[in-house]
Chains A and B, each alone.
Chain A
């Protein structure tokens, strides 16, 4: 039973346009949500996070939005650049859980020049 879901395995956008990656979750007790980025032949690296008490967090070109009532979060990248082409994993953290993070299945973003 996947508690964190990314329903789009892939997404292609034109350079300069907005990329929107989506993530849904089922456990309303999660209290942090994170996005990790992964290039081929490398490990995932942390990109941006949001606490469950917030609805938006922005860091440069990256913004994460959280809709708790819909149990949905999204990552916006504006403007998209070819170097953003990577697999993006959504992850959720539950306080008090020793297992730390629950990951989604990932979305391959391709930014076309």
Chain B
């Protein structure tokens, strides 16, 4: 089954404790992206990756890091989480094309609470 998986699905942590949210896709997609969803703000892009070893900032990258060492995986790293990073996070993937839209497939989400 074609899918995007994220782990963990739920996480409660404390300020300053480093954490990683994993994302994996089995569709051989080049493009992967991280979003956060906050009330009244919709989905905002954090980071994206056009392919292996190619990553760039989205609209709200502060406080986050990513890496893309393999095509299928795109982990999101919070080196020193703060309460304002409490949010619902989604990973997404698609074929890459700058010329036309390709449907993005989303993971089930990770709800993160930073105390």
Contacts and interface: CB of A to CB of B under 8 A. Distances in A.
Q: Report the contact-size class of chain A (Cβ under 8 Å from the partner).
A: 20 to 34
Given A32-B101, A41-B108, A46-B104, A89 B4 contact: no
B40 A93 contact: no
Interface residues of B, number: 28
B41 interface: yes
B42 A106 contact: yes
Given A44-B43, A89-B43, A101 B98 contact: no
Nearest to B41: A105
Contacts, number: 61
Contacts of B92: 43
Nearest to A51: B101
B56 A100 contact: no
Interface stretch (B13-21, B44-52, B79-87): B44-52
A110 interface: no
A4 to B, nearest CB: 8
A101 B101 CA distance: 9
A96 to B, nearest CB: 5
A49 interface: yes
A44 B90 contact: yes
Given A95-B100, A105-B40, A105-B41, A44 B106 contact: yes
A100 B108 contact: no
Given A43-B90, A95-B100, A98-B48, A103 B108 contact: no
13 contacts: A6-B42, A43-B92, A43-B107, A44-B106, A46-B103, A89-B43, A95-B99, A96-B99, A97-B98, A104-B42, A105-B40, A105-B42, A106-B42
